[in-house]
Structure 1
Amino acid sequence: MPIRRPQPFCFLLVPILLSAALLGTGCEESPTGRKQVTLVPEAQMSALGERSFAELLRTLPLNDDPDVRAYVGCVAEALVDALPQPHGRWSIAVFDDPTPNAFALPGGKIGVHAGMLHVARTPDQLAAVIAHEIAHVLADHSNERLTQELAVQGGLMLVDLFAEEPGSLKHEVLRGALGLGAEYGLLLPYSRTHEREADRIGRDLMAQAGFDPRASVTLWRNMAAAGGGQPPAFLSTHPSHDNRMQELDADMEQAVEIYRQARATGREPACSPP
C-alpha cells in the first residue's frame, strides 16, 4: 500500500489552530475610530511589557538626581490622573541616558531618558512627549504591531513550505522580496499611522491634564533642530517633523478648548523643571 504524503494544508492547519488557541482573534477600534486587528490577549501584552521594563531596570542605569525624577514623575502622574478610570497603576523611571527618548509599555510602564529634558524644555513640552508614548499604549499599537509581525512570519512560512527548491538562490530571493514588500507595504505604513494617531491622542490627553497642547508643535520644532537630517517620510516609521507639526496644528483649536476647560476645573499641574 503506497504511503500518502501529507498535504500542505495539514502542515498549515497546525499553526493556525495553535494560533487560534493561544492568541484568539480580535477586530477592534482605536480611540480615533480606526479599525485595527489585535490578536494577543491584553494579559499577555501586559506581561510582555512588565518583563521588558524589569529587564531595562536591571540593565540600564537610572538617573540619580532626585529633582529630575520628581519633575518627570510630576508630569507623568498628572497625565495618568487624566486617563479614564479605571486606569490602574503606572510605573515611571528616568534612565541616565543622554539621548532624547521616551517610551511607554503595556502594563502601565513609562520610561524617560534624561537627555529628553534638553529637547523638551518646559513641563508642557515634556507632557507632549510622555502623553504621546502613553497614547501608543491606549491605542494598543504594540499589540497591533505584534499581530502584523506574526502575519509576516506566517507569509514567510508559506514561502518556505511551497518552495520548489528550498535553500536555492531563487527561494532566498523570493523570501527576501516578500520580507521587503511586507516591511515597506505593511509594517512601515502602519507605523506611520500609529505615530500620527499617537500624536493626536497624546495632544488631547495633555490638554485634558491641563498642559498647553500648543507645546506639542514647539516640541517637534525642537526635535527637528536637534535631529538634523532624517529619511524621507515615505521610508520612515515616523512622519517627517514638518508633517507632524502641520497635522498637530490642523485642529489645534479644539485641543486648546479642552485645555481651557481642564484648567477651569482645577487641573493646573505645578511641575517645576530642575
Structure 2
Amino acid sequence: MKNTLLLALFAALISACTTSPTGRSQLMLISPEAAIVESKKAYLGTVAELDKKNKLVSDRTTVERVQTITGRLVTEAVAAYPNTRDWEWSVAIIDDMETINAWCMAGGRMAIYTGIISKLDLTDDELAQIMGHEISHAVANHTAERMSRAMAINLGVVAAGAATDNNALTLTGAALAAKLALELPNSRTAELEADRLGMELATRAGYDPAAAASLWRKMAKVGGSGGPEFLSTHPAPGNREKSLTKMVPEMQALNPKGKKSAVYPVTIVK
C-alpha cells in the first residue's frame, strides 16, 4: 500500500506538466479550467465579505480610472490569448489605505487596494504596469500552478504519513487550494514571466513601459523594514528594476507612438 501510494504520487507529478506562454514547463495537478471554477468561488466569497464591511469602492473617479486602464489591458490580453475572451473580467477596488497590494485570480477576477494607488501615488502608466502584471499571472496560468503546488505539498504529506504509518492532515481539495493560491507567493520564475508579459500588455495598450522601473523604485521606498504586503506575494529580486529598465527599448518598439487600445468592458465590483 505504501509503495503503491508513493508510485502514484511520483506518476502524478511526472505526468502533470504543461507549458506556459513563454515556453516554461509548469506543474499542473489542477487544470486551468478547474482553477477558474474554484477561483470564482473563492473570489465571490472574498467580495461578499468585503461588501458586508463596506470596503468596496464606488467613487466615480477611481472606478472610471481603474476601469479604463484595466479595460485597455484586457483588450490586449484577449487579443493575445483568445481563450480569455469568455472570462468574467472584473475588478474589486478595496477601500484599505494601509494595504499595498493587488492580485488577479484565474478567470480574470482581480482586486486592487486603495493603499497601493495612494501610498505609491501611481501615475496611469504605473497603474497599468500593476494591473498588466496581475493579468499576466492569470493568462500564464499561475493560479493553477500555485494551486498545484499546494496540492503537491499535500500529496507529499499524505505519502509521508503513509510511509511512516502516521495519520496525515490533508487539504480538502481544489477549493482550499484556490484559497491558498491567494496566499502562496509566486515563484521567482513566475514573477519574471509576469513582469515581461505585463510590460508587453501595458505597452501594447498604450502605456509607457519605463513606468515598470519607476513603479519598483517607489515600491522599494515604502513599507519600512518589512516591506509592503505586495512584496510578500510578489518576491522581488534585487536587480528587478535594472532588468525592467533593460527591457524598455524592446517594449517601446511594440507600440512606438503609444497608441491607446480600445476599452474592454470590465466589471467593477460594487
- TM-score normalised by length of structure 2: 0.76
| Residue-by-residue CA offset, 1:211-244 (whole Å, 9 max, x unaligned) | 111001101111111123348xxxx764436421
Contact 2:18 2:25 in 1 (8 A): yes
What is the aligned-residue RMSD (CA, Å)?
A: 3.1
Unaligned runs of 5+ in 2: 169-183, 264-270
Q: CA 1:249–1:239 in structure 2 vs 1: closer, same or farther (change >3 Å)?
A: farther
In 1: Cα distance, 2:233 partner to 2:39 partner = 21
1:82 to 52, 76, 79: 76
2:63 to 60, 66, 69: 69
Aligned to 1:106: 106
Unaligned runs of 5+ in 1: 1-6, 172-186, 270-274
Amino acid at match of 1:207: T
Amino acid at match of 1:32: T
Partner SS state of residue 209, structure 2: coil
Partner SS state of residue 39, structure 1: coil
Aligned to 2:160: 159
Aligned to 1:196: 192
Contact 1:135 1:198 in 2 (8 A): yes
Amino acid at match of 1:199: D
Aligned to 2:32: 42
In 2: Cα distance, 1:111 partner to 1:239 partner = 18
Same amino acid, percent of matched pairs = 32
2:250 to 250, 254, 261: 254
Q: What is the aligned residue count?
A: 234
Aligned to 1:207: 203
Contact 1:211 1:268 in 2 (8 A): no
Aligned to 1:122: 123
Contact 1:203 1:255 in 2 (8 A): yes
Higher Cα radius of gyration: 1
Q: CA 1:260–1:103 in structure 2 vs 1: closer, same or farther (change >3 Å)?
A: same
In 1: Cα distance, 2:33 partner to 2:247 partner = 35
Following superposition, the deviation at residue 261 of structure 1 comes to 5.6
Task: Report runs of 4+ in structure 1 exceeding 6 Å deviation.
Answer: none
In 2: Cα distance, 1:244 partner to 1:146 partner = 25
- TM-score normalised by length of structure 1: 0.75
Q: CA 1:111–1:240 in structure 2 vs 1: closer, same or farther (change >3 Å)?
A: closer
Amino acid at match of 1:104: C
Partner SS state of residue 77, structure 2: coil
